Structure formats: structure tokens, C-alpha cells
Amino acid sequence: NAGVTQTPKFQVLKTGQSMTLQCAQDMNHEYMSWYRQDPGMGLRLIHYSVGAGITDQGEVPNGYNVSRSTTEDFPLRLLSAAPSQTSVYFCASSTLRGAEAFFGQGTRLTVV
């Protein structure tokens, strides 16, 4: 079991570029989420999904898109990168409502 795998681990983008952060889990978890972590701000929820084909917005969804076509994958798309999106991004998954969440190792994104 690899758990929750995020790729890439590091990325530098230029303002205006688009990219997709990948998240995959091999635990057959229904729930998946994306967070961003910024100093002094804790973790803020971007988008989440309670199952394939179902997504919803979190606390800070603007500038990000998600889709959930399979149980395993939950990619996060940055449409037009901005310096304010410089952050560490974490993907998480859990089996069901109220269950322990498993986190990936994070993607450190810098937008210049």
C-alpha cells in the first residue's frame, strides 16, 4: 500500500501558467480533499469529494478546479497561477464520514 501519493513534490510556475497537481490513493477511500498550508493560516480546505463524480467547494476554492472521475484519483487544477497560490498543497483521503484522514507528503508550489 502506497497510501496517498502526490506528484510532483516541488513545482515552480510562472504567473499565468496552468498545471495539475496529482493525488492518488490505493485504499479505496470514498472521501478525498485538497488543502493548502500557509504560515500562520493553518490548513485551509480548497475542494473535497465524497465519492466518484461528486465534488464540492471548501473554504478557498477560487482559482482551483477539481474532478473525481475515479475513486482513486483527485487532481487539483490551477487555471492561471498567481503568486498568491504559492503554498504547500496536501491531499487527504478517508474511508467515510468522521474517519481518520490519511495525508500525502505534500506539493510545494512556488509561483513567480
Partner 1 sequence: AQSVAQPEDQVNVAEGNPLTVKCTYSVSGNPYLFWYVQYPNRGLQFLLKYITGDNLVKGSYGFEAEFNKSQTSFHLKKPSALVSDSALYFCAVGGDKIIFGKGTRLHILP
Considering only 7, 15, 59, 112, the residue that binds partner 1 (CB under 8 A) is 59
102 CB neighbour count, 10 Å cutoff = 16
Considering only 5, 17, 58, 95, the residue that binds partner 1 (CB under 8 A) is 58
The backbone torsions φ and ψ at residue 13, rounded to the nearest 5 degrees and listed phi first, read -120, 155
> Looking at 18-26, 44-52, 67-75, 78-86, which segment touches partner 1 (CB under 8 A)?
44-52
User: Residue 71 interacts with partner 1 (CB under 8 A)?
Assistant: no
Considering only 11, 19, 22, 45, the residue that binds partner 1 (CB under 8 A) is 45
User: Residue 89 interacts with partner 1 (CB under 8 A)?
Assistant: no
Is there a contact between 81 and 87 (Cβ–Cβ < 8 Å)?
A: no
- Which residues, in sequence order, are bridge partners of residue 73? 24
User: Residue 92 interacts with partner 1 (CB under 8 A)?
Assistant: yes
Q: What is the dihedral of CA 107, 19, 51, 4, to 10 degrees?
A: -30
Is there a contact between 20 and 79 (Cβ–Cβ < 8 Å)?
A: no
* Positions in the binding site for partner 1 (CB under 8 A): 4, 31, 33, 35, 40-45, 48, 50, 56, 58-59, 90, 92, 97-98, 100-106
